[in-house]
Amino acid sequence: MSNDDGQAGLGIAQVLEEHAGETHIIVLQDFPDPDAISSAVAHQLISAAHDIRCDIVYSGKISHQQNMALVKLLGIEMLRYDPSLDFKKYSGSIFVDNQGTTAEEIVRELERVGAPPLLVVDHHELQQRLNPLASDIRRNLGATATIYAEYLERGLVRMDKARRDHVMVATALTHGILTDTVGLIRACPEDFHAAEYLSRFRDADLLEQIMNQARSKQTMEVIHRALGNRVTVESFSVAGIGYLRAEDRDAIPQAAEFLVTEENVHTAIVYGIVAGTGREEALVGSMRTLKLTLDPDDFIKEVLGKDASGGFYGGGKMSAGGFQIPMGFLSGGESEEFRKQKWAVFDEQIKQRVFAKIGVRSQQTPSNRQS
């Protein structure tokens, strides 16, 4: 099996054959996107052919309109992380479209119960969080769904248009490829080939329903805030949007996607403070770029650095990236004045770091207006 991270992988088929009859956990990033969700259900289908039962588990929320439609219309069953979940029943873990760095809470629980990472399948930059038995990490591809389409075409499952579960997986994978390649605009030849193969089995009507979901009122409000707060310098558009609910978290990347369409802008960064399930908060951001020579993964890692444990606050892939910085002790606070002060500090810190990276001196950092 091809894997460009330099490790000698055993291959997905061999891993599954050696672990037939077990129960595995498929771990997704905290806020899974269509590429992750579709790859997970494809892995579930392939595992079933080896008498392996899989649960798909994620933390965070599913809030993007298309993501919710994908899960509902295709009947995808996933478990949201809860401390009461019995992790001891899993003999091993599978990571798709992530390498553990964006699912830290689940990773720590799996380490606690001794459920080893068996396989990582991803298309993002190489991380060092896990030590899996095998990996297939292809950074040249537009989507992890492309890798799973290849697995299916290779015959790990003999696809049958008459089987509903096969049609659902093909439809989900097609959606995953389309969203992660911006409608195939940023697709590589392998992505195009995967989409062509899946077109023999996917349900076009269902796919159209999933992709034609309207933006919610809350998402439009976040985009409006980003437009009003954006600072534009050196073709970068940077917007802090203040506080928002966890349910609206997926509006952040949608706002970044909107800002990058503005004339004379090649890169957009949008961020805000998102409330968690309890009192905890995190500064969450998204980056989108049209500049081919700008690597979001390097950019975010250099700008934000690492946490106390040595893990990066964020990263990315070609054209897109994201970051999350836990607020820790500063989370919560009932006073409106305290919230305003807290936001002002973090907003200014992000702007200063971004502008310093692109060569704008701190004393020349623009005010919170378009320049």
Of the listed ranges 25-34, 286-295, 303-312, 340-349, the one predicted with least confidence: 303-312
Phi/psi zone of residue 43: left (φ > 0), alpha (ψ -120 to 50 degrees), beta?
alpha
Phi/psi zone of residue 359: left (φ > 0), alpha (ψ -120 to 50 degrees), beta?
left
Q: What is the DSSP letter of 135?
A: E
pLDDT per residue as tens digits for the range 196-210: 999 999 999 999 988
- Rounded mean pLDDT, 71-97: 93
d(CA 66, CA 216): 11
Burial class for 255, CB neighbours closer than 10 Å (0-12, 13-18, 19+): buried
Residue 366 confidence (pLDDT) above 70: no
Q: Are 142 and 191 in contact (CB under 8 A)?
A: yes
Beta strands in 83-181 (DSSP E): 92-96, 117-122, 134-137
- Rounded mean pLDDT, 271-297: 87
Instruction: State what percent of residues in the chain have pLDDT above 90.
Output: 64
pLDDT grade for 276, boundaries at 50, 70 and 90: low
Element (H, E) at 205: helix 204-211
- DSSP, residue by residue, 57-76: EE-S---SHHHHHHHHHHT-
pLDDT of residue 89: 96
Q: Using N-to-C axis directions, what is the helix angle for 144-153 and 189-198, rounded to 10°?
A: 60
CATH of 217-364, one of 3.10.310, 3.50.30, 2.60.40, 3.90.930: 3.10.310
pLDDT grade for 335, boundaries at 50, 70 and 90: confident
d(CA 140, CA 137): 9
- Rounded mean pLDDT, 266-280: 85
Of the listed ranges 142-151, 274-283, 312-321, 350-359, the one predicted with least confidence: 274-283
pTM of this prediction? 0.72
Of the listed ranges 21-35, 62-76, 111-125, 131-145, the one predicted with least confidence: 62-76
Residue 328 confidence (pLDDT) above 90: no
Of the listed ranges 220-234, 269-283, 300-314, 357-371, the one predicted with least confidence: 357-371
**CATH superfamily name and code, 12-211:** inorganic pyrophosphatase (n-terminal core) (3.90.1640.10)
Count how many Cα atoms sit within 13 Å of the Cα of residue 293 in the half-sphere of its side chain: 0
In the chain, which segments carry CATH 3.10.310?
Answer: 217-364
Q: How far is CA 97 from each of CA 148, 174, 277, 297, rounded to the nearest angstrom?
A: 11, 15, 24, 15
Residue whose structure tokens are 């001794």: 114
pLDDT of residue 3: 52
- DSSP, residue by residue, 283-340: EEEEEEE--TT--HHHHHHHHH-B-TTS-BSEEEETTEEEEEEE-GGG---S-HHHHH
Q: Are 45 and 28 in contact (CB under 8 A)?
A: no
- Rounded mean pLDDT, 66-86: 89
- Rounded mean pLDDT, 12-22: 93
Phi, psi of 152 (to 5 degrees): -65, -40
Instruction: State what percent of residues in the chain have pLDDT above 70.
Output: 93
In the chain, which segments carry CATH 3.90.1640.10?
Answer: 12-211
pLDDT of residue 292: 85
Residue 1 confidence (pLDDT) above 60: no
Residue 2 confidence (pLDDT) above 70: no
DSSP three-state, residue 15? helix
pLDDT per residue as tens digits for the range 215-238: 778 888 999 999 999 999 999 999
pLDDT of residue 185: 83
Return mean pLDDT, the chain: 88
